């Protein structure tokens, strides 16, 4: 059979395009901010991971421009060869210091960070335990390792303990969890995870891609939020969210970081972070360190958005973070509602399988520290109208079925 035959088959994407509800790839025509121009129209951005709004910050933009002029557009090599700038080392040192860790290592993307670190640390006779709602990059890092992956039910500590009991006493074991879960916005039960790890001799890795800059003392993330900075072994994070750039990092004990540096294929065989990405991440980190009030402002606006949606009768998944999912359940309703919201002038993210169960589809809203209350009010009114329209359509369809 021709390898490409599968590409010619009719796909769900074709049906969605035909119905005018294909949700992906809407083109930005302005820089990412609280308000954007997308496909020729002003939209309020409620679908970005730009939690602190630093992608448009003057100091971050100036740092990127200076790096481009000084170092050029790329390093043209891996960190092992010709691709290390002094600025890469500064970024790693300042990240480690900010997170109260001994050392840090940076990767070209957040996805590569999890692939590289997990596959380097988890060997042939080791086990890695993974929350079922962890990010796809964690899953792929587990699959690329030579170890055995066991999944536990989302934030279910009894399920985690059952998995730990399956690990042979002589085997190494790593528990990996998102700190803030990217789709639901809920926070990992880190105190319980750490206690179980200690009881069974396991190590703990936290993916804080959505925790850095969002929760914890000065935005230091999930371990800081719970006062467990000395109990987490490996910190993972990204630059593409609160730090307004591109790339990822691992932080922890110096010996662990040095082992990853010399073992992670995603580090050894990838070109280093571009000078612009490195400089903007470093500038954003310095802004976060100097202005912890940004984190407080983000928390206040997130609470305002949650309360406002609930007051308008919009059912949400409650949380303490800027990630606020709206219940829409089935895929068709999710896509139709997302389209109404988009046409009304607000961008939100539809969450469909495989990112969720088929009956648990969501609209993922996310807040930024640079939103204003007035802007959020405008967005919430548009969302309320779209959700109400969807509910009315569903009621009408059910009545028609009853009449038939």
239-292 confidence digits (pLDDT tens): 999 999 999 999 999 999 999 999 999 999 999 999 999 999 999 999 999 999
* 57-290 CATH choice from 3.90.1150.10, 3.40.50.300, 3.40.640.10, 3.40.50.150: 3.40.640.10
Average confidence (pLDDT) over 56-64: 97
139-198 confidence digits (pLDDT tens): 999 999 999 999 999 999 999 999 999 999 999 999 999 999 999 999 999 999 999 999
Q: Kindly report the backbone phi and psi dihedral angles of residue 217, in degrees, each rounded to the nearest multiple of 5, phi listed first.
A: -60, 115
Token pair in block for residue 120: 């380097």
Q: Tell me which of 5-19, 55-69, 79-93, 136-150 is least confident.
A: 5-19
Considering 241, 242, 272, 371, which one is annotated as catalytic? 241
What pLDDT score does 393 carry?
61
Q: List the beta strands (DSSP E) in 108-163.
A: 127-131, 148-152
What pLDDT score does 389 carry?
82
Average confidence (pLDDT) over 314-322: 92
Q: Model's pTM, two decimal places?
A: 0.93
CATH topology of domain 11-45+292-403: 3.90.1150
Cα torsion through 68, 72, 74, 77, rounded to 10: -140
Q: Are the beta carbons of 231 and 194 closer than 8 angstroms?
A: yes
Considering 155, 182, 224, 272, which one is annotated as catalytic? 182
43 pLDDT more than 70: yes
Residue located via tokens 């719970």: 226
Which residue did the predictor score with more confidence, 10 or 381?
Answer: 381
Percent of the chain whose pLDDT exceeds 70? 97
- Can you give the length of the chain in residues? 404
Q: Give residue 403's pLDDT band: very low, low, confident or very high (50, 70, 90).
A: low
Q: Give residue 397's pLDDT band: very low, low, confident or very high (50, 70, 90).
A: very low
Q: Are the beta carbons of 184 and 215 closer than 8 angstroms?
A: no
Q: Are the beta carbons of 33 and 26 closer than 8 angstroms?
A: no
Considering 210, 242, 270, 277, which one is annotated as catalytic? 210
Token pair in block for residue 187: 């926070």
What pLDDT score does 112 carry?
97
Same fold, 11-45+292-403 and 57-290: no
Judge if the upstream peptide bond of residue 354 is cis by omega within 30 degrees of 0. Answer: yes
Q: Give residue 359's pLDDT band: very low, low, confident or very high (50, 70, 90).
A: confident
State the number of CA atoms in the 13 A half-sphere of 90 facing the CB.
12
Query: What does DSSP assign to residue 127?
Result: E
Strands 234-238 and 203-207: parallel
Average confidence (pLDDT) over 76-86: 95
User: How many other β-carbons are positioned within 10 Å of the β-carbon of residue 143?
Assistant: 13
The CA angle 351-353-358, to the nearest 5 degrees, is 100
What pLDDT score does 402 carry?
47
113-129 confidence digits (pLDDT tens): 999 999 999 999 999 99
Q: Are the beta carbons of 208 and 222 closer than 8 angstroms?
A: yes
> Which among 118, 133, 140 is positioned nearest to 233, based on CA atoms?
118
241 is catalytic: yes
Q: Kindly report the backbone phi and psi dihedral angles of residue 129, in degrees, each rounded to the nearest multiple of 5, phi listed first.
A: -105, 130
Could you state, in order of their start, the residue ranges of all structural domains in the chain? 11-45+292-403, 57-290
What pLDDT score does 404 carry?
54
305 pLDDT more than 80: yes
182 is catalytic: yes
Which residue did the predictor score with more confidence, 24 or 403?
Answer: 24
Average confidence (pLDDT) over 127-132: 98
How far, in whole angstroms, is CA 356 from its chain's centroid?
A: 15
């Amino acid at each position: 059979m021709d390898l490409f035959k599968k590409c010619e088959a009719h796909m769900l994407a074709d049906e969605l395009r035909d119905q005018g509800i294909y949700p992906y790839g809407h083109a930005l025509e302005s820089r990412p901010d609280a308000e954007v121009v997308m496909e020729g129209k002003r939209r309020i951005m409620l679908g970005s991971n730009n939690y602190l709004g630093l992608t448009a910050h003057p100091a971050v933009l100036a740092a990127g421009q200076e790096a481009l002029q000084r170092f050029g557009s790329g390093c043209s090599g891996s960190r092992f060869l010709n691709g290390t700038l002094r600025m890469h080392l500064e970024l790693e040192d300042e990240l480690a210091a900010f997170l109260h860790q001994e050392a840090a290592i940076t990767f070209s993307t957040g996805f590569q960070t999890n692939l590289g670190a997990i596959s380097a640390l988890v060997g042939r006779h080791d086990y890695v335990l993974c929350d079922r709602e962890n990010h796809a990059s964690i899953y792929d890092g587990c699959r690329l390792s030579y170890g055995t992956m066991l999944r536990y039910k989302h934030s279910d500590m009894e399920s985690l303990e059952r998995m730990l009991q399956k690990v042979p006493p002589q085997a190494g074991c790593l528990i990996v969890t998102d700190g803030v879960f990217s789709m639901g916005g809920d926070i990992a039960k880190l105190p319980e995870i750490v206690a179980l790890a200690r009881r069974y001799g396991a190590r703990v890795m936290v993916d804080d891609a959505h925790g850095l800059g969002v929760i914890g003392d000065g935005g230091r993330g999930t371990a800081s939020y719970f006062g467990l900075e000395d109990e987490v072994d490996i910190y993972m994070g990204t630059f593409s969210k609160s730090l307004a750039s591109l790339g990822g990092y691992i932080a922890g004990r110096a010996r662990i970081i040095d082992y990853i540096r010399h073992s992670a294929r995603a580090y050894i065989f990838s070109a280093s972070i571009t000078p612009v990405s490195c400089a903007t991440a470093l500038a954003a980190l310095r802004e976060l360190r100097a202005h912890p009030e940004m984190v407080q402002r983000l928390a206040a606006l997130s609470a305002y958005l949650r309360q406002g949606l609930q007051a308008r009768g919009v059912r949400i998944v409650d949380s303490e973070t800027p990630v606020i999912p709206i219940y829409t359940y089935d895929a068709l309703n999710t896509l139709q509602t997302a389209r109404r919201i988009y046409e009304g002038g607000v961008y939100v993210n539809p969450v469909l399988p495989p990112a969720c169960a088929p009956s648990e589809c969501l609209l993922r809203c996310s807040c930024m520290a640079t939103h204003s209350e007035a802007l959020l009010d405008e967005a919430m009114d548009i969302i309320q109208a779209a959700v109400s329209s969807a509910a009315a359509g569903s009621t009408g369809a059910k009545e028609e079925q009853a009449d038939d």
